[in-house]
Amino acid sequence: MAAVLVYSEKVETARELVAGGKELGAALGLGVSAVALGPGAGAAASELAAAGADTVYVSEDAAFEGWPADAVAAGLAQIAELAGASIVLVGSTRRGKETAPRLAQKLGAGCVSDVNSLVAEGGDLVAGRYAFGGATVAREKLGTAVKVFAVMPKTFSAEGASAGAGAVETPTLDVSSSVKVVDRRAKEGEHVNLDAAPRIVGVGRGFNAREDLALGDQLAAALEAVVGCTKSLADFEWLGEDRIIGLSGAKTAPDLYLSVGVSGQIQHTVGVAGAKLIAAVNKDKEAPIFAMADYGIVGDLYEVVPALVERLKSV
C-alpha cells in the first residue's frame, strides 16, 4: 500500500485534508487521493482536485444519503483497498468521529481521533491531540500497516494549494446501512459554521441571563461576526450546540476572536488558539483568557459592550 486517502462530508474540511495529505505524502513518498460520497459528490470532485488530489473517488450511491456512519465506513474501506491506502485522513467532524473508528475496524487499522497536528518524522507519522482535558498535548504513533487519523478542521490550510492530476473514478461499491430513517425534522434555531467564520464573538458565563446575550448579538452585528460560546451556555440551552467552541465543539482559526465574559478555561481556549488576533472583555483581571489575549479590557461587560457597539457604529 502506498497512498494517502482523505475524506470528509464537509467539502471545505476535505480540501484542507487534501492539502495536508499532499504535504505529508511528499515527505513520505506517497500519492494523495480523495473521496466524495453522497448527494452532490460529483460537484465536489473539481474542488478536491484543485486542492491537490491526484485521484478523486466519487460515489453518489443512495446508501450514502444522510452520511450514515456504517455505510460511509464500508464505502471508504472498499475505496481504501482500491486506492492502496496506507494512511487515511478523515475529518474529525461529528460524523467523522463516528466513521473513523468504524473504518479502522474494517481495515484492521489503528486509529487516533481529534488530531490537531500531524507531521512526518523518520518515515512515520506523529499525531498530536489534546489530553487531560486540554491541559497537555499527547504525541502518538500507530504501529499498524494501515493508519486512520480523524483530523480536526483547520489543522491544515488549503490556501495556496497546488492542483493535482484530478482524475475522477466512480467505483462500484457494495454498501448498505442498517440505519432506518423514520423521520427528518429541521433543526430548530439558526445554524452557524464557526469553522469558516472570519470573526467570532465568544460569549460565556459572564452573562447573567439568557436575554442578556442580545448584547453579544449586537456586538457581533457591529463586527459582522458570528456568535460562539462556551460549553456551559449550550448546557444551559441558552445557545445551540453548533455554537460551542473548544474540546466539545469547534476548533476555529478566525482573523479575530473577541471573547466577552469568558474566563478562558483551557477546554474552551483550545478551540481559538489558531485565531490571528484575540481580544477579551472580563471584569476579573486575573481571568486566564488575558494570558493568551493580544488585547484586553478589564471591565463590566454590561458597560463595555454597549460602548464598543456605539464606537463601532460610528466608524
- The domain that holds 272 is classified in CATH as 3.40.50.1220
As given in the structure block, the three cell numbers for residue 253 are: 482559526
Here the CATH number for the domain that contains residue 142 is: 3.40.50.620
Residues 101 and 27 in one domain: yes
Q: Is residue 236 part of a domain?
A: yes
| Most distant CA atoms of the chain, gap in Å | 62
- Facing residues of 282 across strands? 298
Look at residue 174 and tell me if it is in a domain: no
Residue 277 belongs to what domain range? Answer: 194-314
Assign 59 to helix, strand or coil.
strand
Same domain, 58 and 164: yes
- Does residue 99 sit within a domain? yes
C-alpha cell at 164: 493535482
Evaluate whether residue 185 is within a structural domain: no
Integer CA distances (angstroms), 20 to 27, 70, 98, 129, 303, in order? 11, 26, 21, 16, 44
Is 189 among the domain residues?
no
Domain membership of residue 180 (yes or no) is: no
Collect the ranges in the chain with pLDDT lower than 70. Answer: 1-2, 187-190
> Same domain, yes or no, for 65 and 129?
yes
Q: Are residues 148 and 198 in the same domain?
A: no
Q: Do residues 103 and 220 both lie within one domain?
A: no
β-strand partners of 130: 137
Q: Look at residue 1 in the predicted model and tell me its pLDDT.
A: 46
Whole-structure pTM value:
0.84
Residues 226 and 297 in one domain: yes
pLDDT at 122: 87
Nearest in space to 59 (alpha carbons), one of 173, 179, 176, 177 = 173
Is the domain of 147 the same as that of 295? no
Cell readout for 60 is 453518489
Same domain, residue pair 56 and 128:
yes
Q: Give the total number of structural domains in the chain.
A: 2
Asked whether residue 161 falls in the same domain as residue 88, the answer is: yes
* Strand 136-140 relative to strand 124-131, pairing: antiparallel
As a dihedral over the C-alpha atoms of residue 12, residue 14, residue 19, residue 25, rounded to 10 degrees, the angle is 170
pLDDT of 191: 76
Residues 76 and 134 in one domain: yes
208 belongs to a structural domain: yes
- Same domain? For 206 and 94 the reply is no
- Domain contains 226: yes
| Same structural domain, 7 and 126 | yes
